[in-house]
Amino acid sequence: MRTMLFIGIIFGIIGLISAMSVNKDRIELSKQSANEQLAPSMKIDEVMNHLNELQKIAMATTGKNRAVGTIGFNNTLDYIENSLTANTNFKVLRRYFKRGTFSLQRNPTLISTINGVAKTHTYSTSGEFYHVQYSTSVTLNENVLLTAIPNLGCSDEDWLAARPPPAGLVVLVKRGDCTFVEKARLAEKYKVAALLFYNNGQAGDGSQPIYVNIGTGSNIPALFLSNTLGTTLVNAANDPSRMATVRLTIATAPLVPIGNICAATLTGDPTQTILIGSHTDSVPAGPGINDNGSGTAVNLALAATLYRLMQTSTYDAYKYRVQFCFWGGEELGLLGSAFHAAEAKTSTVVGERISDYLININLDMVGSPNFIFGIYDGRTAPSNTPAAARPGSLKISTLFQTLFNQNKLPWDHSAFDGRSDYGPFLAAGVVAGGLFTGADALKTVEQRNRYNSMLGSNLGGTSGIRQDRCYHLACDTTTNINQFALDIMMQAAAYSVESMGQQSDLKSWLYPAREIQEFNKQTQQTKYEYNNINEYFGMPYN
């Protein structure tokens, strides 16, 4: 493996929020190259100013948040776009897509009738049926005939063999083999009135209704039935001597538009793009200043600082385009990043194709009060991650680790667990890495002692409590930000961008052909198409 030149970095230790006391003087660490300018030029005050503005936006919003569907989210997008326009000459593009929050306006209803005997079924995961995420609305007030799809409903042959044919009818499809998304696509293809999944009766979760997802682009009304109810209805539908029908209603709230914003440098090769991403939305419970105002603010400061340096005669131009993206809908299941990656996979526009992205650096929660210095661990990329993305993801992990080691700073591995916006890019074969200061995990005694030892007494935080005590809560305000951790992560992010930007052949470094061939031998075949909703919420694929 070729070793990348590590450029020294100045980390500042500044006043610390959350009852920690540190030396307010900046401590200079050894600088190994005169070319290093981006990280030392970053200013924590600039980042905090952005956070103060994001908090003002949240506090002026009903519910005091910046969640998708609120004026707080829309004003956050306006603030980001205005900041980028005012402080850079980058090409700024805001793009909307309709995905939004899935929610029910009222509980669905299901009434079956077999040979004239009607029965109203109970709605709950411990009852007889449950709703399906991204089902569409439907009102079937008249009895509609049932038909059962043979086998598991995973092929055209299964659907064509159904008697009576499925068009215009309510279909029963057993859980198993292919994904719920694939079954729903076939249901849409064969123009059904509604889709009723039913459980398979296997040990574990095979009896009761379960909560599943049929994809954000679905146009099918769907419910999920218990094994007992599903089997009863299938037996009746398959018996020529019996008449089996259903009435049902599903009322879902309209999906709202969600915006992504990307800002790209006007210089550098657009077919070799360094992408830095952060999500813009909060949860409804609070203003989301650490999650993820912190990543948003660092991303904005990175863009402005890089632009200012690019205007000087002493700063070497990058060979590569740099693009700063701000994703909407992460808290709803990585919706913005997944939309962007999906569009890129089919685009033929130079600079907008998935092959044009060399790496995605993800910044999500980088100012946690009881922080760790988390570095995404390339070894934990899912086993079915395309081989092309694996060597570079390991290398960017090593780049960050070496930086922290050289500066005698503690760090921890953070797993690629599917809960942030790197997921859609890794699944598409794009190298990913990034930084994270912790969420709902508890800080361990070992971590506290190690951080105290390396940073100084009282800087190790508190063991046994969450790394972010205000994670997804109303108290996630600017007082929840640890400026010491934020400052270090801000400069580490800048260091990574500049280090990659100054590489002579970044593509070859991130995508070494021989190492990719070796990973190809180890990579498991992808059985299911990546689904951001399932990954984020831990929902079953099939």
Positions annotated as catalytic residues are: 330
With residue 118 as reference, give the H or E element that holds it.
strand 117-120
Q: Write out the DSSP string of 196-224.
A: EEE----TTTSSS----B--TT----EEE
- C-alpha 432/C-alpha 363 separation (Å) is 11
Task: Give the CA radius of gyration of the chain.
Answer: 26
For β-strands 357-363 and 269-279, DSSP reports them as: parallel
Taking the CA of residue 331 as centre, how many other CA atoms within 13 Å lie in the half-sphere pointing to its CB?
A: 23
Half-sphere exposure of 315 (CA within 13 A, CB side): 17
Q: Which residues in 256-376 belong to E strands, given as ranges?
A: 257-264, 269-279, 320-327, 357-363, 374-376
Q: Is 446:9 a contact under the CB 8 Å cutoff?
A: no
Return the C-alpha torsion angle 272, 274, 278, 280, nearest 10: -50
Whole-angstrom distance, CA of residue 467 vs CA of residue 440: 6
Phi, psi of 91 (to 5 degrees): -75, 115
Task: Tell me the pairing of strands 320-327 and 269-279.
Answer: parallel
Whether 426 and 384 have beta carbons less than 8 Å apart is answered as no
**DSSP letters of 355-407?**
GGEEEEEEE-----TT---EEE-GGGS-TTS-GGGHHHHHHHHHHHHHHHHHT
Q: Which of 12, 126, 101, 87 has its CA nearest to residue 409?
A: 12
Neighbouring CB atoms inside 10 A of 452's CB total: 15
Closest CA to 435 of 480, 481, 404: 404
